[in-house]
């Protein structure tokens, strides 16, 4: 029987880049734990010279992730932040970047406290209105950087509308797709030029390894990023590549369960008298619910809710038993966190106030446990 011509997402997740090893037949991709490779004679090697430049396990993961996002190639890095930094390393001092004003806190920290020192210029705008992006673009603008949905306010940006602007202006659109994963959102199909992920989250899915990826739509981007891997060296180790390869095999089924549990938890929180507001694109009351239905094929499991005060948030976070109080998201276990003092502490009080991030907000990454246990846990913590 011949192979399917257009294999579906779950099939590609399990097979693309995950083919059995040619020399041994091992069904699971081998972990090539080597720093260097034998050369047959001077100037003659078998495609691999030194592990910072390339590694067969890494090649497999890069192929797998490119397939899932619909790109031509991808490059993996030691963390999501290393991937974002690698994209910026493709630009030059004096270049201008337009980015969302409500991003994962580590991104403005990198932009404002590291890269601005090298002559990069940044303008932060509310990208949920595409016209704000257009207004901020100037002669020196090289890239628009968008996170959708945003962390932690779950605000959406219209990828297609922004891509129409960036294409007209001949600049690159980069979308951070960490919250939705390629299972629920396909930014490249909507017009993005590159997609970035913290693979630490849903792609790995088991909270056991850091990583980042940039998925490219042109071979030249992949070559430039490959050069950044070789020159700057923040590559993903073979073992951590393997962890992500193992993770993506179950991405489709995990995302379906995350989404199913996420919807139930969001409905529960929305109906709870102690919860002032719930930020979840799957709720009809979310201001961009219609865009979410158009742009995504699920709503995922990231939810932020307003408890009213720091004291209320602290009390809930101390009382949870099934939910784990920890930074990060996208693992099989439900992780609960306090953005103001954890993921977004680096923004400072003024920065958080400017985007409406309060001390009473709690963020939850709903896992794939039995959802009734998560609901009962939240119920007792809120009581």
Ligand X SMILES: Cc1ncc(COP(=O)(O)O)c(C=O)c1O
Q: Which residues bind ligand X (CB under 6 A)?
A: 79-81, 104, 106, 147, 151, 176, 178, 198, 200, 210, 212
State how far the Cα of 101 lies from the Cα of 123, in Å rounded to an integer: 8
Minimum distance of ligand X from residue 88's CB (angstroms): 13
Rg of the chain over all Cα atoms, to the nearest angstrom: 21
Nearer to ligand X, 286 or 344 (CB): 344
From 16, 52, 169, 246, the catalytic residue: 52
Active site residue 208: no
Catalytic one among 95, 102, 158, 176? Answer: 176
Q: How far is the CB of 335 from ligand X (least distance, A)?
A: 11
Decide whether 198 or 307 has the Cβ nearer to ligand X: 198
CA 195, 52, 211, 127 torsion-angle sign: negative
Catalytic residue, chosen from 58, 142, 201, 352, is 201
Shortest separation between residue 198's beta carbon and ligand X, angstroms:
3
Whether residue 201 lies in the annotated active site: yes
The residue (of 186 and 312) whose beta carbon lies closer to ligand X is 186
Residue (of 306, 84, 284) closest to 195 by Cα position: 84
d(CA 282, CA 284): 6
Q: Is 104 marked active-site?
A: yes
Do residues 187 and 215 touch, judged by C-beta distance below 8 A? no
Q: Is the peptide bond before 250 cis (omega within 30 degrees of 0)?
A: no
In the bound complex, what is the minimum distance in angstroms from residue 343's beta carbon to ligand X? 6
Query: What residue ranges in 86-223 does DSSP mark as E strands?
Result: 96-100, 121-125, 141-147, 172-176, 194-198, 212-216
**CA nearest 67: which of 7, 147, 20?**
7
145 a catalytic residue? no
CB-nearer residue toward ligand X: 312 or 365: 365
Active site residues: 52, 104, 176, 201
């Amino acid at each position: 029987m011949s192979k399917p011509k257009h294999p579906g997402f779950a099939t590609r997740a399990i097979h693309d880049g995950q083919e059995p090893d040619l020399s041994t037949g091992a069904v699971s991709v081998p972990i090539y734990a080597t720093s260097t490779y034998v050369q047959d004679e001077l100037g003659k090697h078998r495609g691999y010279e030194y592990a910072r430049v390339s590694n067969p396990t890494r090649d497999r993961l890069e192929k797998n992730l490119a397939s899932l996002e619909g790109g031509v190639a991808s490059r993996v890095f030691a963390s999501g932040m290393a991937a974002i930094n690698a994209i910026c390393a493709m630009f030059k001092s004096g270049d201008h970047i337009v980015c969302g004003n409500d991003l994962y806190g580590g991104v403005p920290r990198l932009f404002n406290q590291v890269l601005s020192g090298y002559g990069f210029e940044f303008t932060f705008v509310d990208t949920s209105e595409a016209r704000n992006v257009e207004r901020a673009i100037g002669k020196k603008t090289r890239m628009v950087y968008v996170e959708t949905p945003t962390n932690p306010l779950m605000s959406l940006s219209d990828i297609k509308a922004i891509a129409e602007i960036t294409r007209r202006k001949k600049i690159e659109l980069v979308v951070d797709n960490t919250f939705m994963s390629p299972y629920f959102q396909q930014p490249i199909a909507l017009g993005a030029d590159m997609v970035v992920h913290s693979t630490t989250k849903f792609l790995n899915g088991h909270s056991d390894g850091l990583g980042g990826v940039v998925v490219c739509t042109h071979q030249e981007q992949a070559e430039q990023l490959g050069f950044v891997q070789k020159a700057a060296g923040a590559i993903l180790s073979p073992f951590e590549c393997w962890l992500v390869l193992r993770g993506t095999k179950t991405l489709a089924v995990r995302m379906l369960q995350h989404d199913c549990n996420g919807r139930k938890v969001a409905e529960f929180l929305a109906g709870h008298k102690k919860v002032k507001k719930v930020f979840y694109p799957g709720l009809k009351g979310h201001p961009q619910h219609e865009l979410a239905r158009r742009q995504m094929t699920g709503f995922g499991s990231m939810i932020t809710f307003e408890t009213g005060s720091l004291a209320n948030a602290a009390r809930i976070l101390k009382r949870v038993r099934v939910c784990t109080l920890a930074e990060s998201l996208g693992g099989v276990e439900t992780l609960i966190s306090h953005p103001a003092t954890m993921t977004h502490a680096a923004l400072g009080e003024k920065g958080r106030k400017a985007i409406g991030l309060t001390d009473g907000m709690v963020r939850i990454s709903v896992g794939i446990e039995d959802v009734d246990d998560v609901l009962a846990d939240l119920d007792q913590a809120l009581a």
